[in-house]
Amino acid sequence: MNRARRSCANRTARLSLSAVASLLFCASAATALGESFEPPTPEELLFRDFFRMPVGSRGLEPSSRLIDLDEKLIRIRGYMAHQELPTPGVFILSPLPVELGDADESLSDDLPPAVVFVHFDGPAHPYVAGLLQLTGTLHVGPHDEADGHVSQVRAHLDASQLAAAVAPLSPTTGAPQQAPGRSP
């Protein structure tokens, strides 16, 4: 590269770096002024869109939609599976309310094939009844879970996403509400 071209390339690089720096500066300034970047919009995902239905004779066949949403931010509604022995850092989101009798049944259970293993940092989460809505990052593919299952679909939630997820929705307004819990 001759000196003129090197000089041009260097100037272009400096301009690019300056542009990036400017953008970062603007972003910081905007944040400082109270403006914020729009967070990514989660994609709506329904359980019925997970796999080809009815289930095939040789196993589940992930839909193209499920595959496309791998590693993406999604929003999904379902019911926390009621487990006798919940696992730290994981609960199961199911399209139908189900109760798992872990002690007597082990893995001979009533879980539908299309479920989401919801992962978060923290101890086992107490059971929350009712329809839940959660937003998190989707992961598709087999994974050995600590409770003995092999999950096919997982959602990873950070702390704020978890807090939002475990507030069940009101059936009349559809808005999150406090979980009623179980009490006499």
What residue ranges bind another protein (CB under 8 A)? 44, 46-48, 51, 53-62, 66-67, 70, 77-79, 82, 84, 95-99, 101, 103-114, 129-131, 139-144, 148-150, 152-153, 168-174, 179-180, 182, 184
Which contiguous run of DSSP H or E holds residue 132? Answer: strand 131-144
By 3-state DSSP, what share of the chain in percent is helix, strand and coil, each rounded to 5? 25, 30, 45
Comparison of 39 and 184: residue with beta carbon closer to another protein:
184
Other beta carbons within 10 angstroms of residue 133's beta carbon come to: 17
Between 79 and 91, name the residue whose CB sits nearer to another protein: 79
Nearer to another protein, 149 or 164 (CB): 149
Residue 15's identity, in one-letter code, is L
| Min separation Cβ 50 and another protein, Å | 9
Closest approach, Cβ 90 to another protein, in A, equals 16
On whether the CB atoms of residues 176 and 168 are closer than 8 A, the answer is yes
Instruction: With CA atoms as reference, report the closest residue to 35 among 24, 22, 26, 45.
Output: 26
Q: How far is the CB of 175 from another protein (least distance, A)?
A: 9
